């Protein structure tokens, strides 16, 4: 692979955010997500060994990826490497792999972050809240007492204590061990 800076590769994989002035006459600053070319999950799947892909574990068919825009620290995504947004077309093998990876991810997150609970699940379709509706992904979101929507309501922003880089460095060794066990 041609040597690229982390910044370049990251901008190829993940959508980039920009602070822009939406209505200059009102000086209203808005954070906009610049639409990436192509599918971010497929791009991550093509470069799974690069830290910028945020891939924590890869198997032949599945990935565990850190969410670039987490709702909380340790927000993970489990997804098939094959592009597609229809849950019904997932193979039984991948469905089982997704659940096995969920089990093991919960174990690792409990150990690393000691959360009080989790939200897990999928948003199917844009209308249901899927940010990337064309490529299936299963969310695992650690929860702590008092982390609810108080901050977004008052400040229109989320309080995430860690950077994704810090989360990646914390979680990667645990998922490397899991990857070597070939559980999926």
The residue ranges that bind Zn ion (CB under 5 A) are 39, 41-42, 83, 135
Closer residue to Zn ion in complex, CB, 41/175: 41
Closer residue to Zn ion in complex, CB, 11/112: 11
Closer residue to Zn ion in complex, CB, 42/122: 42
Give the residue from 27, 25, 119 showing the smallest Cα distance to 75. 119
Shortest reach from residue 86's CB to Zn ion, in Å: 13
Q: Which residue is nearest to Zn ion (CB)?
A: 39
Cα distance between residue 7 and residue 23, in whole Å: 29
Cα distance between residue 178 and residue 184, in whole Å: 10
DSSP state of 47: S
Pairing of the two strands 138-143 and 28-34: unpaired
Cα distance between residue 96 and residue 82, in whole Å: 15
Shortest reach from residue 37's CB to Zn ion, in Å: 12
Closer residue to Zn ion in complex, CB, 63/178: 63
Shortest reach from residue 80's CB to Zn ion, in Å: 9
Shortest reach from residue 64's CB to Zn ion, in Å: 15
What Rg value do the Cα atoms of the chain yield, rounded? 17
């Amino acid at each position: 692979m041609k040597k690229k800076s982390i910044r370049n590769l990251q901008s190829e994989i993940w959508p980039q955010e920009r602070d822009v002035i939406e209505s200059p006459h009102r000086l209203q600053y808005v954070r906009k997500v610049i639409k990436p070319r192509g599918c971010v999950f497929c791009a991550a799947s093509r470069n799974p060994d690069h830290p910028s892909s945020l891939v924590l574990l890869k198997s032949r068919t599945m990935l565990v990826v850190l969410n670039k825009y987490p709702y909380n620290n340790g927000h993970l995504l489990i997804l098939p490497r094959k592009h597609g947004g229809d849950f019904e077309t997932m193979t039984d093998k991948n469905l089982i792999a997704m659940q096995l990876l969920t089990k093991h991810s919960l174990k690792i997150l409990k150990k690393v972050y000691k959360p009080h609970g989790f939200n897990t699940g999928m948003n199917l379709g844009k209308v249901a809240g899927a940010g990337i509706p064309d490529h299936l992904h299963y969310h695992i979101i650690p929860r702590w007492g008092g982390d609810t929507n108080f901050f977004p309501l008052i400040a229109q922003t989320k309080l995430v204590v860690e950077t994704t880089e810090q989360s990646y460095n914390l979680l990667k060794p645990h998922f490397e061990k899991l990857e070597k066990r070939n559980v999926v």
